[in-house]
Chain A
Amino acid sequence: MAELAYWEALRRAHDEELAHDPLVIAMGEDIGVAGGTYKVTLGLYGKYGEERIIDTPISENSYTGIGIGASMAGMRPIIEIMSINFALLALDTLINAAAKIRYMSGGRAQCPIVMRTPGGTAHQLAAQHSARLSRLFMGTPGLRVVTPSTPLDAYGMLKSAVRCNDPVIFLEHESMYNLKGEVPDEETFRPLEGAGVVREGTDITLIGYNYSVHWCLTAADKLAQEGIHAEVIDLRSLKPIDRETIRRSIEKTHRVLVAEEDEAPVGVGSEVIAGIIEDCFFALDAQPVRVHAADVPVPYNYSLEKAAIPDAKDVYQSALKVLGKV
């Protein structure tokens, strides 16, 4: 069992899948000679060559479209988009083509692509480099949307995504690439569906995904010091959402909070809570609560940025409110 950083786990998944299948290629800006903005493809250009680790021009819509076209002809492209903000330029090919080609061909064609991209706030990157946008993809039929929060899931889910025959949107986070965690030495696949109960508890369910899972875990530690046992769920997949795991947890804890870095309107939290109301309304002893970003473009100023984005402390304080402790 090795301790790997999130970026190293992704790199290992690339390496193994490129070695496993000659039809796997990686494409994106600066991923080849430069090894990727977040080092995820570091060294792979030298190992696999320019035909398989493809440096693209700054043309997100068309290089994503080229990956989609190649996947229709049997290739397995991993498409990196440097920031989810730039993925907006590729929404046409992702939402109008990749997500729909299987359906509008009556199941006769498919697009087995993986689109990897980091979102979120890092350090004062301001409005055009801090978006999350999970909602855009989770609202699109024909896509799978996954958001690994640990190096193990980053590694095992990327391997699964490459072998999946559906288009997979693989959401990373700019502040998580150096996060460390244990990854088994032997080849491991992690499934693309199903939430994980990452901490068991009986008093309240804290639901997070991607970076916000870590706020939930920190908040749960703090709650534990006060004798409150929080259960933490990592959604792992935003499409589909594992409503069954959420229902089972709420039937045990009767209280729930959803924490996210996305803005609240039409977002992940709205969707999760709508599902909770439909599935287990009568199991609730308190109203469900969302902890979310302010509905503003992310500001540059450090204090304003901090005010726009929630953290572990916000999760902790909101949990106390759900529990009626404040």
Chain B
Amino acid sequence: MRKIDRKRLLREMVFFRRFEDRSFEAYMERKVGGFLHLYSGQEAVATGVLEMVQADRGVGFDYAITGYRDHIHAIKAGAPAREVMAELYGKETGSSRGRGGSMHIFDPSVRFMGGYALVGQPFPLAAGLALACKHQKEGRIAVCFLGDGANNQGTFHETMNMASLWKLPVLFVCENNCYAIGTVIQRSTAVIDQYKRLEAYNIPASQHPGQDIEVVMEAAQSAIAHVRSGAGPYFLEFLTYRYRGHSMSDAGAYRSKEEVAEWMQRDPIQILAKRLIEAGELTEEEFKAMEQAVQSEIDNDIIQFAEESPEPKVADLAKYVLEDNPDPRWIGPLQGQGG
């Protein structure tokens, strides 16, 4: 495995935070529509897990899939950030050509198989990607990111049963941010520690703090090794927190200021920055310069690309409903053949 550059990881997380903040601003400017679910506060999970998934096989080798809070997972999986922002803008250059929007970022070229807006739906889709990996025997695995709220859907239980039974190479990553939309986990879920639910399905599982990326990477490394070995699924639970409301229409009034402030003391970016500064690998000035460079890149390149990209053509409204040029031998139509 190649040595992981911690400064690069820090820069990525700074980039992800700024990407979400900037998309918030674009939403307020009415340049981004629909729903917008932001990931700020949870960066260490997607960044750390996908870093370890990619560590030995590279970007785009394995499959990743998630729910609607999906921008950062897509970018870390290898989708160009420009295209993700253009998708939020609904542009033709967007990762889903403007047809998907915030909740449906796709980039199959790097095996990022989508964000889905039905809570719990990605569980079986991820197991299906893993079934294909197992069948095709090329060493791939599937990684499924979902929040704690999704675990109360029937798909969680049905999929865990089949994934375990069939020893599918799938890594489930539960981002336990304590809230299912606006309902605190104590009020929605009978078992608070999510990893304990996997005992019922004979799937190995563990719970870890989710704000320190090095803790996330360490936990992910052994879980990935388990899955890649062919031993079947693994379930990782990370305790984390989202700083903003569930979506743009949610100010998060159900949470106390004290609670939010307490979690912000454990900010994943600050934890790693402080560690690098104390180790002498980074100076305060370098960190500030890093933040400024990221801001400049997002404002001058990412946003500019989204702003200047063309809208989809209305004439293309029905494009992508069915395959464009299907094989006439099996699509038809019948021509004078009778019954």
Chain A contacts to B: CB under 8 angstroms: 23, 25, 51, 54, 56-57, 59, 61-75, 92-93, 96-97, 101-110, 141-142, 144, 149-150, 152-153, 159-161, 163-166, 189-199, 213, 234, 236-237, 242, 245
Contact = CB atoms under 8 A, between A and B. Distances in A.
Contacts of B55: none
A69 B127 contact: yes
Contact of B114 (A109, A190, A237): A109
A194 B124 contact: no
Interface in B48-89: 63, 65
B339 A57 contact: no
Given A62-B159, A103-B321, A191-B331, 15 more contacts: A57-B162, A61-B154, A66-B162, A72-B128, A73-B129, A75-B128, A93-B125, A104-B114, A106-B320, A152-B339, A153-B339, A159-B330, A166-B323, A166-B326, A236-B334
A102 B322 contact: yes
A193 B124 contact: no
The interface centre, meaning the residue of A62, A141, A144 with most chain B CB atoms within 10 A of its CB, is A62
Contact of A104 (B100, B109, B126): B100
Contacts of A152: 339
Contact of A194 (B114, B126, B322, B335): B335
B155 A61 contact: yes
B30 interface: no
A193 B104 contact: no
Nearest to A191: B332
Q: Point out which of B109, B155, B162, B339 has the most chain A C-beta atoms below 10 A from its C-beta.
A: B339
15 contacts: A57-B162, A63-B158, A66-B128, A69-B128, A69-B131, A74-B136, A75-B131, A92-B121, A103-B321, A105-B108, A142-B322, A160-B329, A166-B322, A166-B326, A199-B339
Contact of B132 (A73, A101, A142, A199): A73
B333 interface: yes
Given A25-B135, A106-B95, A62 B158 contact: yes
Contact of A196 (B136, B319, B334): B334
A307 B3 CA distance: 75
A66 B159 contact: yes
A67 B335 contact: no
Nearest to B130: A69
Nearest to A71: B128
Contacts of A54: 166
B127 to A, nearest CB: 5
Contacts, number: 206
A153 B339 CA distance: 8
Interface residues of B, number: 60
A194 B131 CA distance: 35
Contacts of B339: 149-150, 152-153, 196-199, 213, 234
B100 A194 contact: no
A193 B334 contact: yes
Contacts of B159: 62, 65-66
B300 interface: no
B131 A141 contact: no
A196 B334 CA distance: 7
B97 to A, nearest CB: 3
A164 B323 CA distance: 9
A104 B332 contact: no
A156 B332 CA distance: 12
B10 interface: no
Given A65-B128, A66-B128, A67-B128, A104 B106 contact: yes
Given A103-B99, A109-B114, A69 B331 contact: no
B331 A102 contact: no
Given A68-B128, A105-B108, A194-B332, A144 B322 contact: yes
B288 to A, nearest CB: 38
A16 B320 CA distance: 30
Interface in B206-242: none
B133 interface: yes
A198 B159 CA distance: 44
B104 A105 contact: yes
B149 interface: no
Max chain B Cβ within 10 angstroms of own Cβ: one of A71, A107, A159, A242: A107
